[in-house]
Amino acid sequence: MDNERSGTGVRPPTLKLYYIDLKSFLSAPALALRLRRGLALYSANFMIAQQLADFLQEGLSTYIASRNERLEPNAARVTALVVEPDGQHVVAFVPVVAGGPIMRDLRANGQVALVSARPPDERGCQVKGVFIEAREARDDERPMVIDQWERFRDKLAMIGLPRVTTDAWVTWPCLAIRLRVQALFDQTPGPGAGARLT
């Protein structure tokens, strides 16, 4: 806090707030420098409620999106999503064959978005966040991933897209891309589309 004296008295303290992403938090030298300078740190703390988590994990049409240094987008289909118990982290399972451009972007700037929609009624949600880490999906995760994918294909069949049209889509092996949630938005068509979810 800064106090400035003037000829008319003492100016009230001014609190300086700095928005930082998780990469800044994980940079110990940068964090120590800010603390030595007495600067307040601020980071948004979003949480996915259980009802929304259930929706995101029911088997949806989901894409992961990133951007490069020229602000050019990249995207890939997500086979499955897992919302971690804390509600603040999401793991997106992306087929390895499609993950290259996404991973280059995420390692460069960390900005990531997920967009999910349910084919029968077009209920949708966008998750914006910051990249944490990526790893190869484990064999014991494969049944869960394939189960979500098959439930998505069931929904496609409900709107007239037969399974044969998606039989050749590659769903495994996957990268497990973990992100921290920073914002949630309603993407369901209608008057509330684009509204921030709390």
Mean of pLDDT over the chain: 80
Q: What percent of the chain has pLDDT over 70?
A: 76
In this prediction, residues 35-63 reach a mean pLDDT of 70
* pLDDT at residue 16 is higher than 80: no
In this prediction, residues 89-100 reach a mean pLDDT of 95
What CATH number corresponds to the domain at position 180?
Answer: 2.30.110.10
Based on the fold, state whether residues 27 and 62 are members of the same structural domain. Answer: no
Based on the fold, state whether residues 96 and 22 are members of the same structural domain. Answer: no
In this prediction, residues 70-92 reach a mean pLDDT of 94
Based on the fold, state whether residues 61 and 127 are members of the same structural domain. Answer: yes
Based on the fold, state whether residues 24 and 116 are members of the same structural domain. Answer: no
Q: Regarding predicted confidence, which is higher, 118 or 25? A: 118
Per-residue confidence at 46, pLDDT binned at 50, 70, 90? low
Per-residue confidence at 1, pLDDT binned at 50, 70, 90? very low
Based on the fold, state whether residues 124 and 186 are members of the same structural domain. Answer: yes
Based on the fold, state whether residues 28 and 101 are members of the same structural domain. Answer: no
Number of domains in the chain: 2
- The whole domain housing 113 covers 50-197
Residue of 28, 82, 80 whose CA lies nearest to 54: 82
Based on the fold, state whether residues 55 and 16 are members of the same structural domain. Answer: no
pTM across the whole model: 0.75
Based on the fold, state whether residues 98 and 75 are members of the same structural domain. Answer: yes
What pLDDT shows up at residue 188? 86
Based on the fold, state whether residues 83 and 154 are members of the same structural domain. Answer: yes
Based on the fold, state whether residues 102 and 190 are members of the same structural domain. Answer: yes
Based on the fold, state whether residues 176 and 132 are members of the same structural domain. Answer: yes
* pLDDT at residue 139 is higher than 50: yes
* pLDDT at residue 52 is higher than 60: yes
Based on the fold, state whether residues 101 and 34 are members of the same structural domain. Answer: no
